[in-house]
Amino acid sequence: MNLRKLHGAHVPHRKNTADMAPVRMPVPATVTIPMSMHIGAPAAPAVKVGDSVKVGQLIANAGGFVSSPVYASVSGKVKKIDDMLMSTGRSMKAVTIESDGEQAVFEGIKPPEVTDLPSFLNAVRDSGVVGLGGAGFPTAVKLSVKDLSQIEAVIINGAECEPYVTSDTRTMLDDADWIGKGIGLLQKYLKARRVIVGIEANKPQCVKAMQTMASGMTGVEVMALPPVYPQGGEKVLIYHTTGRVVPEGKLPIDAGAVVINCTTLAAIAKYIETGMPLVEKVVTVDGSAVSEPKNVIAPIGASMQSLFDFCGGFKAEPKKVLYGGPMMGIAVPNTEFPVMKNTNAILALDEKDAILPEPTACIRCGSCVDACPLNLMPAAIEAAYNKRNVDKLRALHANLCMECGCCSFVCPAKRMLVQTNKLAKGLIAADNAAKKAEAERKAKEAEEKEKKEAVAK
């Protein structure tokens, strides 16, 4: 994988809410909190219907090492625990809490005792924090580096390269002190010798705020990076800040890096100082159908509709509603879906912005190849997928695709390249599973044959 600095796309900025400090929405009548708001195993409910709960009280235990606990975001009573259909199409358990409107804080809230790396990692795990920039990977797992000497740089991701989204911008402007405290924790417990705060250069106020925060701190530098999407992609950010390439099939630590989102880091610092776990999020509410775009402080589990209502409702009929930005966001079928841990924005787009143009024939211009941050060949991947040629898809490294959407964005023929890339990855996964099942079947047959032969002897 050979990255070049300016591969990517120049997407519209549209940071309409960058100068808007977050405002707290009224407590909703109910919140519905999914048990899976992260990559990995879902959390297991620790409450039952009828239980009274308070803000910050544990309502679900982590379901394994790669998982995360879940806490009540409102005080009130557990109304139901039922399956809900997620935006991914999967069914998942969710806890619905009927709010009493009081927002009473759980009596057991207290700062964790952190004295060494294991207790620090336990605190991060207990905080319920996952990748808050959208990825949703449990942060404690990411920070569980067996050999700390491998860490050459910790990179704080403040790129926020998606159009519209400004929740990380507000963290850097409003919670710079918390980011600074978080950096101090990483330096103390992860022995981070070099800390880099990476921010797109088109956010000069954030660059200045982070430079002010870092002044007087040893080993911390702020880098203003080219405003080229997807600057915030983990592998792209590592390359642009350190010059290191993450090998195919490897993790950032294999390139000597740990990457953590700026809002994620601030949330960890807040928990370790206050003891209040992750129960609310700053969510950018914007899009061409939204009457009054805002950055909203919302309890986890609040419905999208309640946030849109707080922002004056719709000025045009929304034809598409998204979790996240328009490049990598996930469309939902209705506005009753909840704010989750990794929800950094919700967008409602009118017909003009939502309707995709009809694709035409590929003209072999190579724009998709030039734009791909990982130097893939999307048009070739599309051709191989259409022929269901799995071996060719592997040779084209289709699994490397981060689904950033640059290829589709720059394509003059408006072909659905990123969607095809995702389907291609699914085809490879299905072929891998089939081969594994066949290998296991043959191994079992061989074992049974050996047993029969042994009995015969």
- pLDDT tens-digit map of 324-360: 999 999 999 999 999 999 999 999 999 999 998 999 9
Query: According to the model, what pLDDT value does residue 1 have?
Result: 36
Q: What is the mean pLDDT of the chain?
A: 95
Query: According to the model, what pLDDT value does residue 6 have?
Result: 64
The full 3-state SS of the chain, as one line of letters, equals CCCCCCCCECCCCCCCCCCCCCEECCCCCEEEEECCCCCCCCCEECCCCCCEECECCEEEECCCCCCCCEECCCCEEEEEEEEEECCCCCEEEEEEEEECCCCCECCCCCCCCCCCHHHHHHHHHHCCCECCCCCCCEHHHHCCCCCHHHCCEEEEECCCCCCCCCHHHHHHHHCHHHHHHHHHHHHHHCCCCCEEEEEECCCHHHHHHHHHHHCCCCCEEEEEECCCECCCCHHHHHHHHHCCCCCCCCCHHHHCEEEEEHHHHHHHHHHHHHCCCCCEEEEEEECCCECCCEEEEEECCCEHHHHHHHCCCECCCCCEEEECCCCCCEEECCCCCECCCCCCEEEEECHHHHCCCCCCCCCCCCHHHHHCCCCCCHHHHHHHHHCCCHHHHHHCCHHHCCCCCHHHHHCCCCCCHHHHHHHHHHHHHHHHHHHHHHHHHHHHHHHHHHHHHHHHC
Hey, what domains does the chain have and what are their CATH numbers? 23-274 (3.40.50.11540), 280-354 (3.10.20.600), 357-457 (no CATH)
- Which residue stretches of the chain have pLDDT < 70? 1-6, 457
**pTM of this structure:** 0.93
Query: According to the model, what pLDDT value does residue 133 have?
Result: 82
Query: According to the model, what pLDDT value does residue 241 have?
Result: 96
Query: According to the model, what pLDDT value does residue 4 have?
Result: 41
